[in-house]
Each structure stands twice: as C-alpha cells, then as structure tokens.
C-alpha cells in the first residue's frame, strides 16, 4: 500500500503507518475491561487494591499487531481473583513500604488555560481569547519559555490573594466558593437568551445591589484608613 502512494522514506512510512492504524482503530469496537476494587482492613488501618482484567480486546487487537507487545493491564489480567469472597480473611505473607512523591501540576499553557476555563464554566468560546489577552495586557500573567507557559506576575498574585482572603467579596471568577459569581452570571445570561426564565431587570437589580454593597464597603474602608492617618499626624 505504501508503494502505491510512493512512500519510501522511513519517516514518511512511520507517519503513514501511524495514521493508517489509528484510522482503523477509530472504527473498531472499544476494549472492555472488568474493574475490581479490593478493600482490606488490618487492625485500624484500611488498604485498597484495584486492578483491571481485559475481557474483550476490541481495537487493542489491532494495536497488538502494530506494537507486538502487551501493556501492564493485559499482563495483570492473567491473575485470578474469582475465589475471593466478601469478608474473607487472608494471612499477610509479606509487605513493603514505598514512598511515592506526587508530581506537581504543570503550569498552564494557552490551550490548557482555555480548557480550564471551559471546565469551570468561565466565559464562552467567543470570549476565551479576549480574557486571555486581557490578563496579559494588564500584566497579570506572562508567557515564558518555548512552550509559552503561563506564569503569574507579582501583581496578579496580589490580586488573587486579595479576593481569596476577603470573605466579603465573591466577584472573582475562581474562588473558594464553589459556584462563583462570574459563573452564575453567565448561566443567568444563557437562560435569558434561551427562554427568558430570568427577567433582564431582575438580573440587573441583583447586580446593582451587589455592586452597591461592594462600593460602600470600599468607601468605608478608605474612610477608616484616612481617619487613622489623620490621628497619627
């Protein structure tokens, strides 16, 4: 088949083979696994063991032809746990303690940042790019390295810390509050556009009330600060 398409160089052959096998696999059946979780209790401590047994290879049968190797899940599927019953007592033959260090999450890139916004319900596809550009223009974030990893600036960190530590304010997009104001607002706008269940005036009155409260708090705090400075003088 490769000869018919005049593919002779090694790199081209590898790319063609990859595309060919993935195309065939995408039209094949899913692989079916049986997942089992075993919970053990040793005195006051509880342990959990989980494993998967491959029941039907599906597209993996084609992958085996390409890779000619088994993955760990398939090797583990040879172990038979069918004899285990609920509340079965088993002797401890041996054990070892292993320290596992969790890898810290990778910094966001532009693509993963937009995916995060979509997950949290922040913004809409038409506004994702503009939000990202706003953060850059206001010097809240910078892009570093070849992969353009997003790094928060000192200004950006200070702003986030302010909102997270201010229990009176919930105007930040991602906060300690599960359903943030930004997400709720966008959901209400979607409802208005869709079927008008949430009246426009009710929405604006709610925003005006919240905004008025925040402005009053800012004026009050500013007045208190000015009074303190005057007394010191």
Residues 112 and 161 in one domain: yes
Last residue of a domain, one of 165, 183, 204: 165
Q: What is the 3-state secondary structure (H, E, C) of the chain?
A: CCCCCCCCCHHHHHHHHHHHHHHHHHCCCCCEEEEEEEEEEECCEEEEEEEEEEEECCCHHHHHHHHCCCCHHHHHCCCCCCCCCCCCCCCCCCCCCCCCCCCCCCCCCHHHHHHHHHHHCCCCCCCHHHHHHHHHHCCCEEEECCCCEEEECHHHHHHHHHHHHCCCCCCCCCCCCCCCHHHHHHHHHHHHHHCCCCCHHHHHHHHHHHHHHHHHHHHHHHHHHHHHHHHHC
Specify if 233 maps to a domain: no
Summarize the confidence of residues 114-140 as an average pLDDT. Answer: 84
Residues 70 and 18 in one domain: yes
Q: Give the whole-angstrom CA distance, residue 22 versus residue 95.
A: 41
Residues 65 and 14 in one domain: yes
Domain count, the chain: 3
Specify if 39 maps to a domain: yes
- Where residue 142 sits, what CATH number does that domain have? 1.10.460.10
- 3 Cβ contact list (under 8 Å, min separation 6): none
- 108-113-119-123 Cα dihedral, nearest 10 degrees: 150
Do residues 175 and 164 touch, judged by C-beta distance below 8 A? yes
Tokens of 84: 């285990």
Last residue of a domain, one of 33, 58, 76: 76
Residues 205 and 183 in one domain: yes
Residues 127 and 175 in one domain: no
Half-sphere exposure of 106 (CA within 13 A, CB side): 10
Last residue of a domain, one of 31, 57, 76: 76
Q: Which domain holds residue 20?
A: 10-76
Going by pLDDT thresholds of 50, 70 and 90, the confidence category of residue 3 is low
**Which pairs with CB-CB distance under 8 Å and at least 24 residues apart come from 214-223?**
214/168, 214/169, 214/171, 217/168
Going by pLDDT thresholds of 50, 70 and 90, the confidence category of residue 161 is confident
Specify if 190 maps to a domain: yes
Specify if 171 maps to a domain: yes
Specify if 100 maps to a domain: no
Query: With 50 as the cut, is the pLDDT of residue 72 above it?
Result: no
Residues 65 and 36 in one domain: yes
Residues 134 and 182 in one domain: no
Specify if 123 maps to a domain: yes
Specify if 81 maps to a domain: no
Residues 19 and 31 in one domain: yes
Which residues on adjacent β-strands are paired with residue 37?
50
Going by pLDDT thresholds of 50, 70 and 90, the confidence category of residue 168 is low
Tokens of 217: 């708090």
Residues 196 and 145 in one domain: no
Specify if 195 maps to a domain: yes
pTM of the model: 0.42
Query: With 90 as the cut, is the pLDDT of residue 154 above it?
Result: yes
Going by pLDDT thresholds of 50, 70 and 90, the confidence category of residue 187 is confident
Residues 19 and 35 in one domain: yes
């Amino acid at each position: 088949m490769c000869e018919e398409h005049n593919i002779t160089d090694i790199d081209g052959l590898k790319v063609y083979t990859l595309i060919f096998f993935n195309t065939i696999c995408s039209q094949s059946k899913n692989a079916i696994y049986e997942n089992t979780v075993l919970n053990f209790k040793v005195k006051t401590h509880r342990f959990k063991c989980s494993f998967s047994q491959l029941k039907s290879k599906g597209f993996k049968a084609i992958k085996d032809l390409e890779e000619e190797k088994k993955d760990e899940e398939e090797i583990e599927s040879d172990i038979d746990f069918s004899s285990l019953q609920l509340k079965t007592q088993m002797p401890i033959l041996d054990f070892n303690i292993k320290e596992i260090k969790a890898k810290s999450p990778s910094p966001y890139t532009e693509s993963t940042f937009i995916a995060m916004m979509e997950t949290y319900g922040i913004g809409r596809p038409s506004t994702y790019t503009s939000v990202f550009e706003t953060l850059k223009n206001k010097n809240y974030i910078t892009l570093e390295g070849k992969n353009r990893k997003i790094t928060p600036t000192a200004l950006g960190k200070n702003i986030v810390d302010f909102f997270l530590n201010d229990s009176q304010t919930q105007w930040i997009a991602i906060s300690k509050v599960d359903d943030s104001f930004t997400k709720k607002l966008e959901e209400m706008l979607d409802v208005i556009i869709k079927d008008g269940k949430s009246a426009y005036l009710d929405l604006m009155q709610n925003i005006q009330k919240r905004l008025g409260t925040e402005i009053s708090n800012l004026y009050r705090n500013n007045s208190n600060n000015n009074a303190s400075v005057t007394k010191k003088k």
